[in-house]
Amino acid sequence: MRPPSKRSFFWFSEKTIYVETAGQTTRLSLSSRAQILAFICAIGVVFWISFSGLMLFSKGIGAPSIPASPINNAINTSETEVFAEELNAITQQSLSVKSQLSAALVEMRQMQNAEITASEQQEQLQYKLALALNELQALKRQHAGERNASAEGSIAPNALSVPPRPEQASPIDKVSQALSQTAKAKLETEQNLAAALSARDALELEILLIEQKYEQLFRQIEEALTISVKPLDKVLRASGLNSDSLLNTVRQGYSGRGGPAFGLETNLADLSAEEARALGILNSVAKLDHYRIAINKLPFAPPVTAAHRFTSGFGPRWGRMHRGIDLAAPKGTPILATADGVVTFAGTFSSYGKLVKIKHDFGYETRYGHLSKIRVKKGQRVSRGEAIGGMGNTGRSTGTHLHYELRYKGKALNPMNYIKAAKDVF
């Protein structure tokens, strides 16, 4: 069969018929092929009717004119009945073809309506499912936010966007696809939520361990500072000094600060409990450092650490005031500075023989007499424990020994009170 020409398609192009019944509009689509088939059927019926009528008419005209007779009349009557029956049969066939065509058109219209209705219902169902999934995801995110869960494992918004509407898919396939997507999204949401909760629990445990570690560290530091400060405070009080007044003096002389944080003021009301505790530890460390400075600057150390004998104490002796103590050891035994200071005298002085005087902070002065040798010079700065000379027998002396004096603002003090007070420190 030859394909239809373009001209025929122009006359029999696809047509759409809209029929409005009972307030509803029904759409009927007639393709080019259906129109051509109906046209051919109609032409065939018309041609058959025309041909049959022509044959009857021809027989009537071309028959010889003979007298009518009962036999001829019977023949004509029978032929007429045959032709009438044939015409009736043709008419019935035409009506049957027409009814079949109408039934086909009605069935086609019903199928189209059913397909359109099913497609629309499926699209509405799929759209409602997508909206339900989005609402479910919003509730999951809200629940995760209330529990301070991490948002790293949340489902991307694109995963729950409204799915596209496929044009060629059956209703069962569409519903199955929507249900599959719903189940997959729900599983991913539950997995991400479980992972976020697990991460949160691990983080809380880690924070708890860190807090316990810092609590133990703070407690150890506080205990160590308490243990370190108590003996130093005991030394100062045992020597008769006012520790508070002495530490204030140290703070005034050693209070320099600097650096990027210099000048910042700390308001205790703005600090948390942990920050206030840490600040207290820093203050205790600063106090300990002030104690260390005071101990190093005050003459608490013994002038002789080698083996020696205590031969004379502080106080009246032979009718006179003995303003120091005597320590005996072999000649040349090292004599040590008992605190940091500056040498103010190094030479021979009256009954002291070879004498070294050292000026210390806070108004203190120490004297070392009867030396055999002097190892420092006037104006030299010395440190606690530094050798300044050797034990000797110069000046008014009955044997090799050290005469050691301690003075505060010119007044002689008993050196043993300081040496004994710091016995467990040095």
pLDDT per residue as tens digits for the range 249-301: 777 766 655 444 444 456 666 777 777 777 777 777 877 788 778 777 889 89
Residue 236: C-alpha distances to residues 133, 298, 385 (Å): 78, 10, 19
Give me the residues paired with residue 328 across strands: 309
CB 307 within 8 A of CB 391: no
Q: What is the DSSP string of 205-264?
A: HHHHHHHHHHHHHHHHHHHHHHHHHHHHHHHHHHTT--HHHHHHHHHHHS----STTTT-
User: Considering only 36-45, 118-127, 409-418, which range has the smallest mean pLDDT?
Assistant: 118-127
Residue 106: C-alpha distances to residues 15, 102, 289 (Å): 15, 6, 106
CB atoms within 10 A of CB 312: 14
Average pLDDT, the chain: 76
Q: Which residue has the higher pLDDT, 363 or 228?
A: 363
pLDDT per residue as tens digits for the range 122-163: 666 667 667 766 766 666 666 566 555 544 544 444 444 445
- Give me the pLDDT at residue 14, please: 73
Residues 6+ apart with CB under 8 A from 93: 45
Domains and CATH numbers, the chain: 309-421 (2.70.70.10)
- Give me the pLDDT at residue 246, please: 74
- Give me the pLDDT at residue 33, please: 76
pLDDT per residue as tens digits for the range 313-325: 999 887 788 999 9
CB atoms within 10 A of CB 148: 10
